[in-house]
Amino acid sequence: MNSKRENGVKAVGTWSQAALCALAAASLFANAAWADPYADGIEFYQKRNYSRAASCFETVLVRSPEQTNAMYYAALSYQQLRNNPRAVELYTTLATRYPSSQAGRNAILALRSLAPGALRGGGGTASMGSSSVRSYSRSGSGGGDDADIARLPAQERVHFRTEEGGGKPVLYVSGAVNSTPLDFVFDTGADHTVIGMDHLAKIGLPRPSGPPSGQSMGVGNAVTNNWTLSTTVKIGGIERRNFPLLVSDRSGVPPLLGRNFLDPYNYTIDTSGGSILLTKKVTAVASGGYSTTSQGGVPFKRVKGGGMVVNVEVNGRTIEMLFDTGAQSCLFSRADVNRLGISVPADAEHEMTQGVGGAMPGLRFPISRMRCGPIDKSNILITVVEQNFGEPLLGQQFFHDFQYTIDDQNNVIRFLRR
């Protein structure tokens, strides 16, 4: 991503604005009955014409009052227009009537900062996952049975290539799906391993014909349908059979090698050597909060969906960020930088951020300092978008010049300067 983000969107590069708007519009059509006003609303929103956007989304809601995505974008539009009463009304409707939907979960997050009293103690269990691509599904999301995991190699080294896209390099690893070669973005911020509809023909698989098994959302906040296929996915000598591969109703974004494929392993990324050493876990993995001892590393905690959250000091203030190898840049929402006391300068560079959840306009500018464990950087560029998307993303731009080991046994990331 320029900054990402199946758990992001995940953004994996900076594309032309025209191409991104086209991709975003295509991925956001969900029902022909309301496609035109909804797509128009998205276009107006991306152009920051929030009044016209709100009008389009209200049109959708007249036709389809339960269209949660339109309701959420309408609320966002009203919030940008400082019409907080209407925004709170829509957010509250989503939070109370549709708390298990992704739009409802986003609304709960918005209400916590905009109108905490509106929740009245409710919605506390509806916290959404924070990875670059956040997925929710009627089917399980397990990464394989015990027999499959038991036969995996104890250790495997895979090599990666890097690809620039407007930020620091994203890591690509060569793999295969059902014996057909396919390159994946190595993405610790994605809950699941995901391909798009455009990859099915290459693999020789038909498009899914049944109802979707779930939905995903990433940076970009577009909700896309997912289908789960049982496949064989191989990276190096690690072959996962009967593996639940997600097929997302989107195109134009690289396949993501997510947390459910990597879960049986701890891994060390050697940026100078261009390789990833995966070592099989031998004890039970801790879960929940931060490790009680960092053992010389940076402690992390797993959030719902499996993403790794670390504490980062930004201009002297601490904030939780998602450690995301699939993100190129460090991505914040406008609400994040407001909490950090950071003002967006008038001369900030305009850019488009692309990910699984669509395209978003962003503003890129340097901040004074970011620090996490042994990594301490000054005048580092960040990207700020208007939408809220969960924890901000700590991308390759921050840690690309370090070797690092993800130790799930002790819930720590160990960094070594190369």
Q: What is the pLDDT of residues 259-279, one digit of tens each?
A: 889 888 988 888 777 889 988
pLDDT of residue 8: 37
Cβ–Cβ < 8 Å for 375, 330: no
Amino acid identity for residue 183 in this structure? D
Burial 153-171 (b: 16+ CB within 10 A, else e): eeebebebeeeebbbbbbb
pLDDT at 369: 96
**What integer pLDDT is reported at residue 418 of this predicted model?**
63
What is the structure's pLDDT at 408? 79
Mean of the per-residue pLDDT values for the chain?
77
Burial class (CB in 10 A: 0-12, 13-18, 19+), 284: exposed
Q: Give residue 25's pLDDT.
A: 35
Identify the segments of the chain with pLDDT beneath 70: 1-35, 116-146, 164-169, 215-223, 282-296, 304-306, 354-359, 418
Burial of 148 (0-12, 13-18, 19+ CB in 10 A): middle
Q: In 237-306, which ranges are E strands? A: 238-248, 256-257, 265-270, 275-280, 298-299, 301-302
Distance from C-alpha of 60 to C-alpha of 50, rounded to nearest angstrom: 15
pLDDT of the residue at 174:
94
Cα–Cα distance measured from residue 383 to residue 387, given in angstroms and rounded to the nearest whole number: 12
Tokens 């920051």 map to which residue? 48
pLDDT value at position 78?
86
- Residue 259 structure tokens: 């947390």
Q: Which amino acid is at 343?
A: S
Region of 161 (left: φ > 0; alpha: ψ -120 to 50; beta: rest) is beta
Q: What is the pLDDT of residues 26-85, one digit of tens each?
A: 333 333 333 478 888 888 888 888 888 888 888 888 778 889 999 999 988 888 888 888
Token reading at 204: 């020789």
pLDDT at residue 120, as a whole number: 53
**Tokens at residue 107, please?**
């609304």
- Of 370, 373, 354, the C-alpha closest to 362 is 354
Beta pairing class for 317-323 and 393-394: parallel
* Contacts made by residues 228-234, CB under 8 angstroms, sequence distance 24+: 228/137, 228/139, 229/205, 231/177, 231/178, 231/205, 232/176, 232/177, 232/178, 232/179, 233/175, 233/176, 233/177, 233/193, 233/261, 234/175, 234/176, 234/177, 234/179
Cβ atoms of residues 398 and 332 within 8 Å? no
Q: For residues 208 and 227, give the distance between their C-alpha atoms in angstroms, rounded to a whole number.
A: 7
Sign of CA dihedral 233, 238, 243, 249: negative
298 CA to centre of own chain: 21
| Beta strands 238-248 and 223-235, pairing class | antiparallel
Which ranges in 204-305 belong to alpha helices (H)?
A: 259-262
Q: What integer pLDDT is reported at residue 407 of this predicted model?
A: 85
Strand partners, 170: 163
Phi, psi of 374 (to 5 degrees): -80, -5
* Predicted TM-score of the model (pTM): 0.54
